Amino acid sequence: MVDILFRSLASGSSGNCYYFGTQYRGILIDAGIAARTIQHDLREMGLDFQNIMGVIITHDHADHIRAVGTLGERVHLPIYTTPEIHEGIDRNYGVREKLRTSRRYIEKNKEFDIGGIKILALGVPHDSTDCLSFVIDFCGQRFMLVTDCGSPREELEEYMKTANHLVIEANHDEQMLLNGSYPTYLKERILSPLGHQSNDTCAQVIERVYHEGLQNIWLCHLSPENNTPESAYEAASQALLNIGVMPGADVYLKALDRLQASPVYPLNEAPTLPRVIEKREQQTISEDDEE
């Protein structure tokens, strides 16, 4: 038996990328940081690109797709997302290496499989071409990621009530945002139902969806200007305390770092799997290979 692993490689407005899998194979969620940084962080785990079975993309904003062309067309990783998001990636001026052979289409509300990892994409309200949350089932563990979520949705919350591990957006402290230096139009965009989830909204969702099977909660996509890890943690922690749940004892709670990779979190045991799924040429990503 081996551990199921989760690691945040980056989480925030500067870039987002996460690993889910085992010590032998797995998937990436989003590719919003430099490909060579992704490779460096994978190698710290004893992995490399040949151990990645695919990349699933939440939406087409730059902080989630910076390296998608490099990973798809130079490293030859399949890139999974909806047709609408693929169209948005095509239009994104920051993606100079357009996806051709690596493009894979998925549908919302229809489960698909990547090497035994079952994935369900659900719609999320956000001002991108389309936006997805992912429910990931593997070896009896349910992992869910909900980011760039302008407003809560009952359908998403029903799935959160079944998750063992939850990554959820806590983007901003409303008072910090309102009193900060952002122009009015940007404040209004962030606060809109198609913007980003605040600490208070995140806390309210956690209070509604917590159940005894929920083992880990990670707070993601924190704003550098309008939030702090302490503020996000305090709001979520107080919400749990309100329902008699002790963070650190009954559930693990952590605000993810924006720029630094997190520790590698073991989630539970999975059957031993082969190390290499398909042959890919071993390579090192250089600055010349970047988007």
- Tens of pLDDT, residue by residue over 84-127, are 999 999 999 888 889 999 999 999 999 999 999 999 999 999 99
CA distances from 185 to 182, 189, 190, 193, 195 (A): 8, 6, 9, 14, 12
For the cut 60, the answer to whether the pLDDT of residue 282 exceeds it is: no
Residue whose tokens read 């710290």: 44
Q: Average pLDDT of 139-153?
A: 93
**Can you tell me the distance from the alpha carbon of 269 to that of 283, in angstroms, rounded to the nearest whole number?**
30
Q: Average pLDDT of 188-205?
A: 96
Q: Average pLDDT of 215-243?
A: 97
pLDDT score for 278: 44
Identify each DSSP E strand in the chain by its residue range: 2-10, 17-21, 26-29, 52-56, 79-81, 103-105, 112-114, 117-123, 132-138, 141-146, 165-169, 216-220, 252-255, 265-270
For the cut 90, the answer to whether the pLDDT of residue 245 exceeds it is: yes
Q: What is the mean pLDDT of the chain?
A: 92
Q: What is the pTM of this model?
A: 0.92
Pairing of strands 216-220, 252-255: parallel
Q: Average pLDDT of 245-268?
A: 94
Q: Average pLDDT of 234-253?
A: 96
Q: Which residues contact 164 (CB under 8 A, 6 or more apart)?
A: 141, 142, 143, 213, 214, 215, 216, 267, 268
pLDDT score for 256: 97
Edge-to-edge strands, sheet with 252-255: 112-114, 117-123, 132-138, 141-146, 165-169, 216-220, 252-255
| Rounded percentage of the chain residues whose pLDDT exceeds 90 | 86
Confidence band of 268 (pLDDT split at 50, 70, 90): confident
Sign (positive/negative) of CA torsion 10, 50, 216, 68? positive
**Can you tell me the distance from the alpha carbon of 274 to that of 266, in angstroms, rounded to the nearest whole number?**
18
Pairing of strands 17-21, 2-10: antiparallel
For the cut 90, the answer to whether the pLDDT of residue 43 exceeds it is: yes
pLDDT score for 277: 39
For the cut 90, the answer to whether the pLDDT of residue 224 exceeds it is: yes
Q: What type of residue is 170?
A: A
pLDDT score for 152: 86
**Can you tell me the distance from the alpha carbon of 108 to that of 133, in angstroms, rounded to the nearest whole number?**
9
For the cut 70, the answer to whether the pLDDT of residue 276 exceeds it is: no
pLDDT score for 28: 98
